[in-house]
Structure 1
């Protein structure tokens, strides 16, 4: 065995850095690291596309919406609901363009255990870059975070998809973020409506005569909704999975007898008309709600838009057998796929934690106990690219990445390096099955 003698001062320096967190701080400040960078074993479609990515923010106002969190007996106020968006898009190559610096938050106000704490991290998109109008319009992808969450929760995915020729819009859901944690009832009611409102606004702003930077960039007729956790809950409802009567009743108990959620249920005759034909595909990542009675058989059977589910089989927030898998099994009238991370819990969507020195509760808000989050990010990039290319761009050849055996050990999955698809399961069903 080779023996190497380490000088005492170097050993002390190593130990000091290790126990003080010096290495993790240097890691966080490494200007070459970006969320979503492909690891050496990343599957084929995880790699970025050919487009330079621009990024801009935009504020919208959804007028005269129910102010759910201030409902009380005999008082059902309305308000103008503000929504902030982050938008990524194919952009012109510009010399000297500066990569964006994102600001996000841990914790929440007045939480002694996890106080509201800002942090910054670098992206690959160029802030305010000029859009690539001559190659547009591009299919639209609307991304919806969890509770509590952020429009920057999945930049590994939003930047990646924009580099492949999509306009990607991530919603900062009012009363559902770290800096603005409202009552849960607000998220239950507004989530699907926020997504559909943003679709309407992106279609409007994408018209060629609006003067917006999005003018001529947005092909809203080919839209996908992507949601994580409460975002997935909203995506399913926006796409046709009407809420169950018992869930509507539970909401009424939370909101002093309000029946507003009934508008999003199968019992409302106008609900079906809200399923927007511009939505051609949805992705529900660890969608919350099934284990809490959000859907029954008629609601799930009303889902008819092609759907990709992503879940961990040990999900202790949304549930798996009685949660995500039960939704997959019940949605018998749509083309559907399900990617399962074996031994993963709920956090199969976010950017990875920034540092092992975080407050443990902040760390576990994003981390997976078993899986390397960077590997999850790469796998998600791969499968969403194939699924969206197929259903939004009509690239039939992408189906080869989706026509897979259930067990990843039966044979190496298409697009994966040998031995690297371990720990995954895949299911796919056609309508009527």
Structure 2
């Protein structure tokens, strides 16, 4: 009798255990903490609202339709998503559904696959201006990508008292992919335009929800891949003559990129003192000669690089690490995921949201072969919080950033025992 009772209890426990695991898995939202998440990955004290804005940058060069040396202009549309500290009514949940697609609109072999995923924010919530205005963070996705590619990070940072604005870069998203030339020209220009727009809309006289909410004088740029390419340029790393030549070959001779080149008067005039820091995830371009030594000297703001040691898109030794080494006038860090490739920034693959049989190419836009992407997300939350907290808020996070270079040799501050492995963190000063 006792044996049967024990067996029944074991069966009940096992069933409850499996039900619990199933519940936890189906309720995991991008950015939630794994048990081994480092200390600063935890969300901040603020509840989060989210809104979508449609912006237009008038009279911009339409590089896709300029021919025979004659420039064509257009009013360039930009959709942005804004996360901000908010007041959540007692009868509302801090949940939002994001609409996303996989595939590429300019590749018939990769048809668009719509999917939805959840986030921890409330759509159109009332802004919490108690501690405002808040520092501004501008987030730029890769090619291809979207403003929803890094929601694990954008929500997390907003909860810590930032206004986080992620851009859908026109002609560079999954849904409206066009020639790479548009991305090469427009990334830094989009960043600077959005900075100006957020300053305008955050003005106390503005009649938008951003009024009095945004401190654009205290801004950081966050970019992934081509987003990193643009963010570094917007912050002072002028492009090389080789980059201008490469752009011209793609566009039939256009020299429009010259205005973003080292030594160009227009480029020098565009440098904005409101940009106080940069976070560059796997920035593209160094292996293609986008920067030379002189161009990298122009980067003077504190910069935090994130890289995979096996990055086969941006390159590591001759790519991201070469940028880090060459930016000799910047106080800079470089976090390296050993054996990771290029996907050290995005949300996890949306396998739970889509029917089985997700094409490998779409899966590999998000997944890291040697790493758990949710683990990467938590580590990024931790280090970006430390870096931006130090640079924009003056917080004493030195202990999280001044650690032994090789994480295998000592447990890093903020990491649970036995969990800081497979990482390197370099630091160099001007």
SS in 2 for 1:387: helix
Q: How many residue pairs are counted as aligned between the two chains?
A: 406
Deviates more, 1:367-376 or 1:248-257: 248-257
2:398 alignment partner in structure 1 = 399
Taking the aligned partners of 1:29 and 1:259, their CA distance within structure 2 comes to 54
| 2:344 corresponds to 1:345 | no
Q: Is the 8 A contact 2:310 2:316 kept in 1?
A: yes
Q: Is the 8 A contact 2:44 2:160 kept in 1?
A: yes
2:57 alignment partner in structure 1 = 62
2:173 alignment partner in structure 1 = 177
1:219 alignment partner in structure 2 = 215
1:203 alignment partner in structure 2 = 199
Q: Map residues 248-397 of structure 1 onto 2, 5 A cutoff.
A: 248-355=244-351, 357-395=357-395, 397=396
User: 147, 151, 154: which one pairs with 2:147?
Assistant: 151
CA-to-partner distance for each residue in 1:333-379, whole Å, 9 max, x for gaps? 01000000000000000000011742111111111011000000000
Taking the aligned partners of 1:30 and 1:67, their CA distance within structure 2 comes to 45
1:7 alignment partner in structure 2 = none
Q: Is the 8 A contact 1:28 1:354 kept in 2?
A: no
Deviates more, 1:298-307 or 1:265-274: 265-274
Q: Map residues 89-168 of structure 1 onto 2, 5 A cutoff.
A: 89-98=84-93, 99-109=95-105, 111-168=107-164
Q: Is the 8 A contact 1:56 1:86 kept in 2?
A: yes
Taking the aligned partners of 1:112 and 1:67, their CA distance within structure 2 comes to 24
Taking the aligned partners of 1:71 and 1:96, their CA distance within structure 2 comes to 53
Taking the aligned partners of 1:27 and 1:252, their CA distance within structure 2 comes to 54
SS in 2 for 1:304: coil
Q: How far 1:110 sits from its partner (Å)? A: 5.6
SS in 2 for 1:82: strand
Q: Is the 8 A contact 1:103 1:118 kept in 2?
A: yes
SS in 2 for 1:352: coil
CA-to-partner distance for each residue in 1:59-95, whole Å, 9 max, x for gaps? 0000000001112223320000000000000001312
| 2:165 corresponds to 1:193 | no
| 2:39 corresponds to 1:40 | no
Deviates more, 1:27-36 or 1:215-224: 27-36
| Long gaps (5+) in structure 2 | 1-17
SS in 2 for 1:103: strand
TM-score (norm 2): 0.92
TM-score (norm 1): 0.91
Q: Map residues 78-93 of structure 1 onto 2, 5 A cutoff.
A: 78-93=73-88
Q: Is the 8 A contact 1:31 1:122 kept in 2?
A: no
SS in 1 for 2:130: helix
Taking the aligned partners of 1:258 and 1:29, their CA distance within structure 2 comes to 53
2:5 alignment partner in structure 1 = none
Taking the aligned partners of 1:60 and 1:217, their CA distance within structure 2 comes to 18
User: 36, 45, 53: which one pairs with 1:50?
Assistant: 45
Q: How far 1:208 sits from its partner (Å)? A: 0.9
Q: How far 1:409 sits from its partner (Å)? A: 1.7
2:8 alignment partner in structure 1 = none
Taking the aligned partners of 1:300 and 1:316, their CA distance within structure 2 comes to 22
Q: How far 1:41 sits from its partner (Å)? A: 0.4
CA-to-partner distance for each residue in 1:270-305, whole Å, 9 max, x for gaps? 312211100100000000000011000000011100
| Long gaps (5+) in structure 1 | 1-22
Q: Is the 8 A contact 2:62 2:73 kept in 1?
A: yes
User: Measured at CA, do residues 30 and 379 of structure 1 come closer, stay the same or move farther in structure 2, by a change above 3 Å?
Assistant: closer
Q: Is the 8 A contact 2:106 2:176 kept in 1?
A: no
2:410 alignment partner in structure 1 = 411
Q: Is the 8 A contact 1:97 1:129 kept in 2?
A: no
* Root-mean-square deviation over aligned CA pairs: 1.6
User: Measured at CA, do residues 27 and 273 of structure 1 come closer, stay the same or move farther in structure 2, by a change above 3 Å?
Assistant: farther
Taking the aligned partners of 2:389 and 2:85, their CA distance within structure 1 comes to 16
2:13 alignment partner in structure 1 = none
